[in-house]
Amino acid sequence: MNKRPVRISEEEKKRQLLAIEEAKRVISSLENELGRPVRACVVTFGCQMNARDSEKLAGILDAAGFWQTPDEDDADFVIFNTCTVRENADNRLYGRIGRLSGIKKQKPHMKIAVCGCMMQEEGAIEKITSSYRHVDLIFGTFNIHRFAELLVTMYASDRVVVDVWKEAGEVAEDLPVIRKYPFKSGVNIMYGCDNFCSFCIVPYVRGRERSRTPDDIVSEITRLAEEGVTEVMLLGQNVNSYGQGLDEEIDFPALLSRVCEIDGIRRVRFMSSHPKDFSDELIDVIAREEKVARHVHLALQSGSDRILALMNRHYTKAHFLSLCDRLRSKAPEVSVTTDILVGFPTETERDVDETIDVIRACAFDNAFTFIYSKRSHTKAALMEEALSEEEVRARNQNAFDRVLCEVQASARRQSAKYLGQTQEVLVEGINAQDPSLLTGRMSNNLLVHFPGNPEDIGTFVHAHLDDCRGFYYLGHKI
């Protein structure tokens, strides 16, 4: 199948800028009616791509005249940007929406929107519109750039506005954005996924793979650098397959090299990578380019060849171990983190043993460990278990506990090896638990907390690592 490139529409951009101006008039009128600023709250569930989408939502809200608040109860407009990778994300969302019902009764002008991946899932819209009738706006992942237009429609309507596209069309880039950090930013290099892992719903809710042109990406990052951004994270469901379907012949290693040439950018991260097409050329770029962060997130999911085949992952345990060996051989200072999914249908204790074997062999620096969650329309959801539901739950919890124990032990060992070193860190902010400390992130993604001046936030400093606390460091600025 020929993969379609992302088509950037200047006409659509102009249309949305006009919609922002109309939204300004609507919000100004509401502000006069309330006698105070109109406050909005964006609540984000899920991955870095969702976080980036929320920054776009926040930018449009700001341009339309909203004041932003982190407090849902204080907001006049709450937007839930949803994730649907696991069932617990769905349940958390329903709880949050339901809680706002009583608050909205006390504030008749209040509006609630639900958007993102979950809204692309069949049945989700019906559940929201039937069980949560106080929701005013529903839209999906493919038309987030039309948020300003949807805002205007929502305020003009006395019924729920539903606008969910079934597939991607043209998009508008370069609309207002409010970044969480002024000094670092995510940058979408592609959208969608073609891997169709049997447990994953992402291809169904994010669509098929579409790459942005390298010129568009480089132009965006150049503008970010001119605005003071020094670290970027290149985002895609599988960045390793970047470039297919473009007129220009380019792959991810070549794009990564081009990004490293941009003046002002000092650190480049990327997320996510699929082991099946993590190439030796990419390893060479990581080893060669000093700007590339010393951290690679490489999702294992399982160490069992039988389970990997059922998952439709297109690699084996041996392939994954070889990849880690090659990466560590050419770039030994790179930390490797991973995702591990336990409790996949028919998984046995022997399969879990295979996963633990990989954890020990690869010496992961950390891992996100999850229990399998059945997702509708995926092949895994149709796989039958020989055990009862109660036996499955007990088996999965045991597997999770075993894997988590190994992961934590590996992470502690890997973290401790930096004790006594001096590392360059990007200072991200004041420590949430102790305001006398700053928090910085090392190139390998470890955090270090140290006394410092708030003026250092957003800059690179050198910190001596005095005390390893398992998954982070206490240190002092050099």
Q: How confident is the model at residue 1 (pLDDT cuts 50, 70, 90)?
A: very low
> Over the stretch 75-112, which tens digit does the pLDDT of each residue have?
999 999 998 887 777 888 999 999 999 999 999 999 99
- pLDDT computed for residue 54 by the predictor: 94
Q: How confident is the model at residue 203 (pLDDT cuts 50, 70, 90)?
A: confident
Burial class (CB in 10 A: 0-12, 13-18, 19+), 406: buried
Helix ranges restricted to H, 173-276: 202-206, 214-226, 252-260
pLDDT number for residue 211: 93
The answer on pLDDT for 2 being more than 80 is no
The two tokens of residue 198 are 């049997």
Helix (H, G, I), strand (E, B) or coil at 149: helix
Check pLDDT > 80 for residue 406.
yes
Please, are residues 267 and 231 in contact by the beta-carbon 8 Å criterion?
yes
Shortest CA distance to 397 belongs to which of 378, 375, 372? 372
Prediction pTM value? 0.88
Across 1-10, 96-105, 120-129, 203-212, the highest mean pLDDT is recorded for 96-105
CATH number at 10-163: 3.40.50.12160
- As a whole number of angstroms, the distance between CA 59 and CA 185 comes to 14
Over residues 286-295, the mean pLDDT reads: 97
The residue that leads in pLDDT, 226 or 142, is 226
Q: What is the pLDDT of residues 230-276, one digit of tens each?
A: 999 999 999 999 998 898 999 999 999 999 999 999 999 999 899 99
Query: Could you tell me which residues come within 8 angstroms of residue 286 by beta carbon, excluding any fewer than 6 positions away?
Result: 292, 296, 327, 330, 331, 334
State the Cα–Cα distance between residues 293 and 334, nearest whole angstrom: 8
Domain boundary assignment for the chain = 10-163, 184-416, 422-477
- Do the domains spanning 10-163 and 184-416 agree at the CATH topology level? no
Question: For 427-441, what is each residue's pLDDT tens digit?
Answer: 999 999 999 999 999
Instruction: State the number of CA atoms in the 13 A half-sphere of 342 facing the CB.
Output: 27
CATH no., domain 184-416: 3.80.30.20
pLDDT at residue 216, as a whole number: 92
CB-CB contact of 466 with 476 (8 Å): yes
For tokens 């700001």, what's the residue? 62
Query: What is the C-alpha separation between 180 and 191, in angstroms, rounded?
Result: 21
- Contact (CB, 8 A) for 224 and 266: no
The full length of the chain comes to 478
Smallest CA-to-CA distance from 193 within 229, 161, 236, 228 is with 236
Mean pLDDT (the chain) is 93
Q: Which pLDDT belongs to residue 7?
A: 65
Sequence-ordered list of residues with C-beta below 8 angstroms from that of 357, at least 6 positions apart, any chain: 303, 317
Q: pLDDT of 149-196, one tens digit each?
A: 999 999 999 999 999 988 877 666 778 889 989 999 999 999 889 999
The residue that leads in pLDDT, 5 or 10, is: 10
CATH for 422-477 (3.90.105.10, 1.25.40.10, 2.40.50.140, 3.40.640.10): 2.40.50.140
Identify the CA nearest to 451 among candidates 441, 440, 459, 460.
Answer: 440
* Helix axis angle, 147-156 to 10-34, nearest 10°: 40
Cα end-to-end distance, the chain, whole Å: 54
Mean pLDDT for the stretch of residues 324-338: 97
pLDDT greater than 90 at residue 287: yes
> Model confidence at 127, in pLDDT bands (50, 70, 90)?
very high
Whole-number pLDDT of residue 170: 67
Residue 375 pLDDT = 86
